[in-house]
Chain A
Amino acid sequence: MNQNLDLRQDSQYSLIINKKRTLNANITAQYLSGDTLVEFDFSSYTGATLQVRTKPDAPYIVLQFSTTDGSIVLPASGGTFNLNKTAEQLADVRAGTYVYDMYLISATYPKRQFLSGEFIIISNISV
């Protein structure tokens, strides 16, 4: 009987944000070393990109985060990275459920898959 060997590097998390609201989220990434949770080391990574699309092979990007424009900030030390967008930037996206993935960039690993899953944008009530 065949068994599955999942060689993926990414962890599956569905992310939920509010539409048309300022996003400034600090996410702490940890990994299990034995029974101990150790903070992920971002120091060897020079950049990161997170893209949101309606479906995996959709031709256009709904939302994009990147270290290039500062919407992703990787820490010099520690495992807490930052995702940020202004309310105006999030006003242009339609509420709904999308898919996303995030990869890290380094000399050794030009595209190290980090996170993936659903990206849920919640409608705002107050304008």
Chain B
Amino acid sequence: MSATIRLNIDDNPRIVVKQDQTQVVVTGYTATVLVPSGATMTEYVSGNTWIIYTNPTGTTTTLVGSGGTWAGNISGNTWVVYTEDWTDEIIGLTISAQTQQQNYTGLTADIQYISGQTDYHYLQFTGLTDYINSLIIPAITGNSADIQYISGQTDNNNIQFTGLTASFNSHTGDTNIHYPQSGISITESQISDLKQYITGYTVTAGDVTGITSGLYAPIVHVHNQYSLTGHTHSQYLTGVTWNDVTSKPDLTLQSDFTGHTSNVNIHYPMSGISITESQISDLKPYITGITCSDVTGCTDGLYANIVHVHPQYSLTGHTHSYNNLTDKPNLTGFTLTSDFNTFTGTTLPANYYNKTEVDGLISGFTTGSTSNVILVGSGATEVTNISGDTWIVYSPTGGTSGGVWGTITGTLSGQTDLQLALNGKSDTGHTHAQYLTGYTVTAGDVTGITTSLYAPIVHTHAISGVTNLQTALDGKSNINKTIISINTTTTLNATHAGKIIECNGTFTLTLPNSMNTGMQVDIVNIGTGTITLAASTTLQSSGTKLVTQYTGASVYHRGSNIWLAVGRLTT
């Protein structure tokens, strides 16, 4: 299997492909022999070239022209095949420009068609005026009879030449065989069937001489009522019935129809009408629609309408139940009159007492008794002691109950609602917890809290306001270290802690004593010189020099004045 090679075809590459397979030529091949069968004939030409055709034995081959190709039989199986321009392309014939007609001798067959012609009934010879001097047109093949009709014609007596163009404007020969259009002149005597009128023509009065509207009326006309003179009519038309009359007049009797003659018994005049009740078949005992005014003696003062209203006190001799009354009056504020002497209901209105019962109560009290009777109001009843045994029992207007504050006696527990209300109150002199549950204590709620003494829960401080904060921050290193440059012999100090020292030149950096444990400094040689590290007390390192540009070391104080250096240090 061949390997796949990747080509970036944007680079216009070259590729190796497989060559086309060439045809194999077999030498010594024996030519194929085609054997005809049936109506198919074969003719060997040479090599493997054969002609295959249909040519049954005993029959003459017929060539049929198609399209622009025409075939003409010379003799036997010899044909002339030619195209549209047959003057030059007749196969097998030599055309001479001077004697073209001579070359057409030998054409014994009828000319079937002239190029461009589709029907040999219409032979169109154009451009041949100088060449054909004796053209003999034999009988058109297939047409054994004389030309009876021209195409489209059915009657040879009336040959219709259609399609004559504007150029056909004259002809020679006998011009009397027809009349030119301008020469046609016909008189009525030449019209054998001339009628008095033209069928289909509507004759009007104007067409008839002597007819005027003043002398003759249209067939359909109207006569004035009195215009018919010279004849009489009987007073009436015999044999004409009312039904024969069209457009019957409006028979609504008018006011001037006051009488008529003839048989007056066919109807009664209004004055003559006399009917008795026996003649009325559906006589009723009353006449509908009768009103009081129709009834003798019926007056509004004597009779009331069927539907009428009685004044409030006009009904005598009968009683009404109060409960049957609709729209019962509102008795609120109703002043009871002296005849309101009986209450039969079950519940005495709240503001009223049965006097008899009250009198009975009062009568039970003995006058002059020295015993103190205590009346206690109950419910809506109030009592007020006047003096001694004299009390007033009443029901106060409005409110539900109650006496006068200061006069109420009894036990508090007897006044349930008051007892409950008091139970919900705290005693005087009670104490509270330092805070109320659910209540948010603000500074204003606490005595002594002022903004100058106490800060809100969420508040800010300046760094300087926080004791020792700055000192603590100073002891921290920055996220982004400060870079400083040292170009000469220097002894580091506490300010170099946490910084990056870029050194350029050849000199010594000395690490001092008394620094904080953990103090760290990054030292970088950015120049081409040599940076030498030294310590005031102790330096622990694999080397002491940064000799190569862009090499560095990190030093830190381990404590006890011992410095340790790591990095690309050389000795």
Residues of A whose CB lies within 8 Å of any CB of B are 4, 6, 8-18, 21, 23, 25-33, 37-38, 40-41, 44, 83, 109, 112, 114-115, 117-118, 120
Contact = CB atoms under 8 A, between A and B. Distances in A.
A117 B4 contact: yes
A11 B16 contact: yes
Contacts of A17: 8-10
A90 to B, nearest CB: 12
Given A16-B9, A23-B9, A83-B9, A114 B4 contact: no
Nearest to A114: B17
Nearest to A17: B9
Nearest to A112: B20
Given A11-B2, A14-B4, A117-B4, A40 B9 contact: no
A109 B22 CA distance: 12
Nearest to A24: B10
Interface secondary structure of A, over-half rule? strand
Given A11-B2, A41-B20, A112-B20, A16 B15 contact: no
A6 B18 CA distance: 12
A36 to B, nearest CB: 12
A27 B12 contact: yes
A122 to B, nearest CB: 9
A56 to B, nearest CB: 15
Nearest to B19: A31
Contact of B15 (A18, A29, A112, A120): A29
A29 B19 CA distance: 10
Given A16-B8, A83-B9, 20 more contacts: A4-B1, A6-B2, A8-B18, A10-B18, A11-B15, A11-B18, A12-B2, A12-B4, A13-B6, A13-B7, A16-B6, A16-B7, A17-B9, A23-B10, A25-B10, A27-B9, A28-B15, A30-B14, A31-B16, A41-B20
Contacts of A28: 12-15
A29 B15 CA distance: 5
Nearest to A16: B8
Nearest to A21: B10
Contacts of B20: 41, 44, 109, 112
Contacts of B18: 8-11, 31
Contact of B17 (A11, A15, A16, A23): A11
B251 interface: no
A21 B10 CA distance: 10
A30 B16 contact: yes
30 contacts: A8-B18, A9-B18, A10-B18, A11-B15, A11-B16, A11-B17, A11-B18, A12-B3, A13-B4, A13-B5, A13-B6, A14-B4, A15-B9, A16-B6, A16-B7, A17-B8, A17-B10, A18-B10, A27-B14, A28-B14, A29-B17, A30-B16, A32-B19, A37-B16, A38-B19, A109-B20, A112-B20, A114-B17, A115-B15, A117-B4
Contact of A25 (B1, B4, B12, B17): B12
B10 A33 contact: no
A55 B526 CA distance: 61
Contacts, number: 84
A17 to B, nearest CB: 6
Point out which of A13, A15, A30, A112 has the most chain B C-beta atoms below 10 A from its C-beta.
A13
Contact of A32 (B2, B9, B16, B21): B16
Nearest to B2: A12
Interface in B1-43: 1-21
Nearest to B10: A25
A32 B14 CA distance: 13
Contacts of B5: 12-14
B245 to A, nearest CB: 96
B7 A14 contact: yes
Contacts of B6: 13-14, 16, 118, 120
B3 A33 contact: no
A28 B9 CA distance: 11
A90 B10 CA distance: 14
A64 to B, nearest CB: 16
Contacts of A109: 20
Interface string B101-141: 00000000000000000000000000000000000000000
B19 A33 contact: yes
A115 B14 CA distance: 13
A101 B562 CA distance: 78
A12 B3 CA distance: 7
A27 B15 contact: yes
Contacts of B17: 11, 29-31, 40, 114-115
Contacts of A23: 9-10
Contacts of A31: 16-19
Nearest to B21: A9
B8 to A, nearest CB: 5
Contacts of B9: 15-17, 23, 25, 27, 83
Nearest to B23: A108
